[in-house]
Structure formats: C-alpha cells, structure tokens
Amino acid sequence: MQKENTTEQKEVSASESLSAEQLQDARQLINVFLLAWKNYGLYPEDHTSTTKSFENLLVAFDNYFTAYGDLRLTIEKDRLLCGSEIICEVLQKASLEDMTSLLYRDGIKWIEFHGGLTLEEIASFFRIVCKYNSFTEEAEGDIVTALIDEELEYIDFKAVDIFWQDMLLMDFSRLPPPAPPPRNEVTQEDATDQNKTEQRRQPEELVAADVSARSITDPSIAEQLELSSTDYEILQQMVQEEESWDITEDLFEALLIILNAQTEKEKFDAILCFISEEVVETIELDKFNLLAKLFRSLDNLILTGNPTDKVWKTHLIDSFFHSLSRPEIFQLISDKLLTLQSDAIDELRSIDKIFHYFSPEVVPYLIPVITQRSSPEIQQLASDVIVRLSQQDIEPLEKIAEQQDKEDLGEKLLVILTRLEGERVNEILFKMCNHASNKVQRRAINELVDRDPQYAQRLFPLIDDPNKDIRNCVLASFVKHKSSALENMLLNYLKGINAQKNPEHILACYRTLGRCSSNQAVPFLSRILLNREWNSFMGSGKLIFREGAAIALALLGTPEARDVLNKATKSKSRVIRKAIERTKSITVSWRGTQ
C-alpha cells in the first residue's frame, strides 16, 4: 500500500543513476516479470506454467532485494525507468494489454516492490491488473482503486490524474457511436428514455451500431463500410495473421536471449525450469520443429559465452534435458507418433532430432509405435531411435524383452537386436530362443550362431525341442559351423539315443553328423552299420539306425567312409544290404569307387 510519509523522499532517490551491474540485473528482473505477465494471460492462475512463472519471479525479486534493496519503477506512457535509466520500452505496435500501458492508463506514476514480497501478493497484483485490462470491463473501478482496497504490504505506488490529460488528445469525432447497453442492464426508468432516443437516431447511426456488434471479418461489413474488395482482403489477412500469431516461438527466442546473457547460476536455472514447463505445451501443439530448434540452441549455449561459466551451464542444461525424461512427456510424444501421418516428413525429421536429447527411458514408449503403426516411415524412425538410445543403455530394452510374448513384438525386437552388439544383447537373444513363436525362435537361433559359431554348443539342448522346425533349425546351425566340439556332442547324443525317438529325427541327426563330422565319427558309424550284434540286440525292426549310419557315411564321403560302405555292399546280411539300398537317393562320390 502507498506510504505517504516517504513519497517525496523516494521521488528524489528515483532520479539517481544506477551502476552498470545494477542496471543489468534490473533489466533481467523486468524480463522475468514481463514473461510472467505474458504467461498469466495465456493460462489459468492455477495452471502449472503460471505458478512456476510466479515462483521464478519471486526468486528473481529475492535476488535483487538481497543485492540492492527495494525496486522502484517509474512508469511513463511507453516505458519503464529504474532511477534515471530506461529498462523497458513499449513498442508502438504493442497491445494496450501491455503491463506498462495498463498501469500508465490508470494514472500510476511509480510502483515499488519491497523485500519480503510474497507469492500471494504477486498473484494479487497480477489478478488486479488483468481484471481491469480493458476500457470495456463490466466491473466498476480501476487498478488504482483495487490496489488500495487490497492493502498490499510489500507493493507501494503513487497515482495521479494524467490519464485524462492524454485522453484530451484523442479525436472523438472519429469514434463510432457507442453500442447500446445490454438489455439486462437497462432499468425500467431508463426504458422510456431509450425508446425516445431510438426514434430520434438517424439510419446511419443504426448501421454503425450494427457494424460494431458484428465480427470485422463479416462480408456484409465490407458493403456497409464501403470497402473495396482489395481492402476487404487485406483486412481479412490482417485478422488471420493476428489470430495465428505464434507466441510460443517468440517466447522461446526471448528466453534464449536472456539465457545467453545470464551470468548467475540461480537465475539461469530458474529460466530453464520455466522453459521445461513450456516444452509440454509445445508438444501438445505439434510444434516439433520449434522444439528441435530450442534443444539445439540450448545445446549450443554450452559452446558459447564465458569459459568460466561453462561448467555450471553444462551441468544445468544436462539436468534440464534429464528432467524432460518423464513418463508424461514420453507418453505424449508416443501418442503424437501414433496419430502422425507418414507424409509429414518435416515433422518426422524434427521428432528424430529431439530424440537425441532424451534418455533411453523413452524406449518403452516407442514400442507401440513399431507394433501398432502400419507406416514403414514411422516404424523406421522409432526403430532407429530405439537402436540409438539402446546403444547408450540397453536396460530399458532388456525389460521389454522379458515381458514380450507376442509374435509381432518378438519380430520387431529381433530386427532391433540384430543392429546391436554386446554380451547383454546376446543374452536377450538367448532368451528369445524360448519365445512362444517358432518363427521368433528360429530367427534368434540363426542370429546367435551367425554372431559366434561357439554359441551352437550352448544351443545344443534344443536338439530335443518338441517342435520339428526348432530341432531342424538347430541341426542346420551345426552343419553351418563345423567344429570338433559339436561333432563330439552329436556323437555322444547318438550313442545315447534310443528307438523311442521319432524316426525322422534320428535320421536328421545322422544326416547332420555326416555333413559336419570328420573321420573321428567313422568307427562309430562303422560299428552301427556292420556289427551283427547290433542287429540281434536291436532287432531287425531297428533298421533306422543302420540306415542312418549308412547315410552319414555316404554324406561324409572320405576314403575311410567309402571303405566302410564298400564292405557293407558285400555283406551277406540282408539287413545291412537293405540299409545300403536306402542311401541310393543320396548322390555321393563313394558309389563311383565301387
């Protein structure tokens, strides 16, 4: 509230010049003040962005009070002064809703903020100024009266009647007649006088009143105001430009300018906090190109400015990007990608750029994009981002792999995993060898064996998988990557195999042995094929083993193997000769040696 006993003293001190440092800090404080005012006009008072801007403003005031004491601002028609220095000027094209214009309009000569200022008083001050921001405000009173009634403890001011002196300079003859008051405000006593007045009004007056009650873009107004078609088109264009004005971009540019000149850590951090809140609004508006530009500019701030500030600026900007890694932001971006059209190339490029600044925690929110979108372009974008972020930290992808059980998700994950390397990636692939989908299992097996042939040994237990396709996939991997270790494992497996196994599987194992083994297997195969005791023990019905041995020897094709087969062809045992007959379908070199 106004302190009468100190008025004259303060008017004298207001003319004093400020030091360069104090002037800079005062200007920075006003920038935060005006940004808070602009934000207050955009969002409700209880909105997160509004409360955050009030908190930032309070911090700025406290810092100024600590360094210099109370802040007093002289208000002139189109500028603000601190002492004798101009710290803010109102552009001619600025709206009458500018804070400086509003205070000057209601005759406030100066306003002073005192140490101890609270959030409640800041909110009250903004609420009052906003309430009386228009001459047509229905509520009675003005800013001065409302401030006096509020009895603010830490905000002082002085008001004079300069408003009416300025109003005398206006040409009232150019103003249209005022519109009649709303019907619910006309009393019974005034009704008769109003009817008489209406009867005396000229037709052109009625037309003017009608025009003022309609939108300026109404086509009928062009005729009544005698506007040419060119003038009307220009008028429509002006209205459209005003309605489509992008305040967010201007706001970011202003904040970046302030950040670039800021040398105090606390103020720098406060502005970043405010920008963080604006990021959510920007995503909701689908302005990804603006967001990409903002992130790039913030990143560049680290490379410019005073080298002594680089350490703490880098830390604060890194913290800013880390703070954006929040579920609500990730979910919002995921939802946007799910509705984005594949031909929105510019938006896709911008989204790809902003993902460079997010943490790998965003990966789970991109999974629905690669499973639910049919657009190859958007799926490719999401996959590229997942790969890039997983190279930084594989843990989010590991958690997804543990939960996956659907074929489509498993296939998408495999495409991503094939582009990644490392032991943790390989462990995920091993887990996918037990996937519910046979197709996913086979692809995981092939990928692992291609990465390291020795992995085939670890996959050997799958030789008994219930699914034929999986068994054949494992056996095919043995053939692809021959090794003595695999040969021994397969030999030991065949030595312990019994007739209860599926005949097709038994023959498949012998074929695999023939393709991947060496002469080390010849003694075992010779014993199976030629030993009569084997036949008497297993019975004539177990021809499948002799047949398998003959096939393995034929596929092996070494001189030692051919010798065994030649002996078998000369055997007097009908069972042995029958096993040899089963190999006729196999084209092998040994037959040419007989």
Compute the distance between CA of residue 456 and CA of residue 476 in angstroms, rounded to an integer: 10
pLDDT, mean over the chain? 78
Across-strand partners of 88? Answer: 80
Q: How far is CA 108 from CA 2, 12, 85, 100, 136, in A?
A: 11, 17, 18, 10, 19
Residues 6+ apart with CB under 8 A from 34: 88, 99
Compute the distance between CA of residue 51 and CA of residue 37 in angstroms, rounded to an integer: 11
Q: Is the pLDDT of residue 6 over 50?
A: no
Compute the distance between CA of residue 82 and CA of residue 543 in angstroms, rounded to an integer: 107
Task: Give 60's DSSP letter.
Answer: H
Compute the distance between CA of residue 140 and CA of residue 137 in angstroms, rounded to an integer: 8
Signed CA dihedral, 121, 124, 129, 130: sign only: positive
The reply to whether 269 falls in a domain is: no
The reply to whether 399 falls in a domain is: no
The reply to whether 139 falls in a domain is: yes
Last residue of a domain, one of 155, 172, 189: 172
What mean pLDDT is predicted for residues 233-245? 58
Compute the distance between CA of residue 526 and CA of residue 516 in angstroms, rounded to an integer: 17
For residue 386, name the pLDDT band (cuts at 50, 70, 90).
Answer: very high
Q: What is the pLDDT of residues 182-191, one digit of tens each?
A: 444 444 445 4
Residue tagged 């264009």 (tokens): 237
Q: What pTM did the predictor assign?
A: 0.54
Compute the distance between CA of residue 114 and CA of residue 118 in angstroms, rounded to an integer: 10
pLDDT recorded at residue 85: 87
pLDDT recorded at residue 577: 83
How many CB atoms sit inside 10 A of residue 94's CB?
A: 12
Q: What is the pLDDT of residues 67-88, one digit of tens each?
A: 999 999 998 878 889 988 888 8
Compute the distance between CA of residue 136 and CA of residue 140 in angstroms, rounded to an integer: 10
Q: Return the higher-pLDDT residue of 208 and 529.
A: 529
Q: Are 61 and 30 in contact (CB under 8 A)?
A: no
How many CB atoms sit inside 10 A of residue 137's CB?
A: 11
| CATH number, domain with residue 515 | 1.25.10
pLDDT recorded at residue 434: 87
Helix (H, G, I), strand (E, B) or coil at 110: strand
Helix (H, G, I), strand (E, B) or coil at 246: coil
Q: Give the pair of three-digit tokens for residue 71.
A: 């802040």
Element (H, E) at 72: strand 71-76
The residue type at 544: I
Residues 6+ apart with CB under 8 A from 516: 478, 479, 482, 483, 486, 487, 490
Helix (H, G, I), strand (E, B) or coil at 159: strand
Task: Give 520's DSSP letter.
Answer: G
The reply to whether 145 falls in a domain is: yes
Across-strand partners of 127? Answer: none
> Half-sphere exposure of residue 523, counting CA atoms within 13 Å on the CB side?
2
Parallel, antiparallel, or unpaired for β 85-89 and 155-159? unpaired
Last residue of a domain, one of 172, 189, 213: 172
Compute the distance between CA of residue 337 and CA of residue 329 in angstroms, rounded to an integer: 12
Domain range enclosing 120: 4-172
Q: Are 253 and 298 in contact (CB under 8 A)?
A: no
Q: What is the pLDDT of residues 292-309, one digit of tens each?
A: 998 988 888 877 666 777
Residues in the chain, total: 594
Phi, psi of 375 (to 5 degrees): -70, 120
The reply to whether 365 falls in a domain is: no
Residues 6+ apart with CB under 8 A from 430: 444, 448, 458
Helical ranges in 43-168 per DSSP H: 48-68, 99-105, 119-131, 143-150, 163-167
Q: What's the total number of domains in the chain?
A: 2
Q: What is the pLDDT of residues 549-570, one digit of tens each?
A: 999 999 988 999 999 988 888 8
Phi, psi of 510 (to 5 degrees): -65, -40
Across-strand partners of 265? Answer: none
> To the nearest whole percent, how much of the chain has pLDDT over 90?
25
What mean pLDDT is predicted for residues 346-369? 89
Residue tagged 């008051």 (tokens): 181
pLDDT recorded at residue 257: 82
Q: Are 265 and 315 in contact (CB under 8 A)?
A: no
The reply to whether 135 falls in a domain is: yes
> Half-sphere exposure of residue 13, counting CA atoms within 13 Å on the CB side?
11
The reply to whether 26 falls in a domain is: yes
Closest C-alpha among 237, 261, 217 to residue 31: 261
What mean pLDDT is predicted for residues 430-454? 91
Q: Return the higher-pLDDT residue of 294 and 98.
A: 294
Parallel, antiparallel, or unpaired for β 155-159 and 71-76? unpaired
The reply to whether 493 falls in a domain is: yes
Helix (H, G, I), strand (E, B) or coil at 85: strand
pLDDT recorded at residue 87: 87
Compute the distance between CA of residue 549 and CA of residue 478 in angstroms, rounded to an integer: 18
Compute the distance between CA of residue 429 and CA of residue 185 in angstroms, rounded to an integer: 77
Last residue of a domain, one of 152, 172, 192: 172
